[in-house]
Amino acid sequence: MTIKQGDKLPDVTLTKTTPDGPEKVQSADYFAGKKIALFSVPGAFTPTCSAKHLPGFVDKADELKSKGVDEIACTAVNDPFVMQAWCDRDGSESITMLADGNADFAEALGLTMDGSGFGLGKRGQRWSMIVDDGTVTELNVEDPGAFEKSSAEHMLGQL
């Protein structure tokens, strides 16, 4: 079943990247008591993800936070070391990277895709959501190959 607006996020283990190394976090604990702008990319360092998706949230971080967002987080089916390297290269301190290396979170959300045609295997779809105290208040799932409604600009219009 695919997650929808009004649903609580599933409780799974994610890996938060930090300059000191990976840190395991439970999604129920991580999203509790905060308003988080969360977005998912099919893969770190992939073309649209690196050229548009992550940079859009980096550029709009202050605006999102001025509209009541406590934190901005990015998730992908990548290991935490790749996510940290991507953040070091293209991200900022304003974006928290949450590695979903085994796709547990993407599967629990019902938002996986098959990237085998590109040699990527099972991945998370491209989407964004606003999560308020663990509950999805806005959900923007892209059609395959699209990048419109999961952008930071679209999210700003929802806040």
pLDDT tens, position by position, 91-120: 788 999 999 999 999 999 999 867 666 656
Domains belonging to the chain, first-starting first, are 13-158 (3.40.30.10)
Task: Give the residue numbers marked as catalytic.
Answer: 49
Where does residue 110 fall: left (phi above 0), alpha (psi -120 to 50 degrees), or beta otherwise?
left
CA 61, 156, 145 angle in degrees (round to 5)?
95
Phi-psi region of 134 (alpha: psi -120 to 50; beta: other; left: phi over 0): left
Measured distance CA(32)–CA(120) in Å, rounded: 32
- Write down the pTM of the prediction: 0.92
CA-derived radius of gyration, the chain: 14
Q: What is the pLDDT of residues 1-41, one digit of tens each?
A: 699 999 999 999 999 998 889 999 999 999 999 999 999 99
Two structure tokens written together for 74: 């990015």
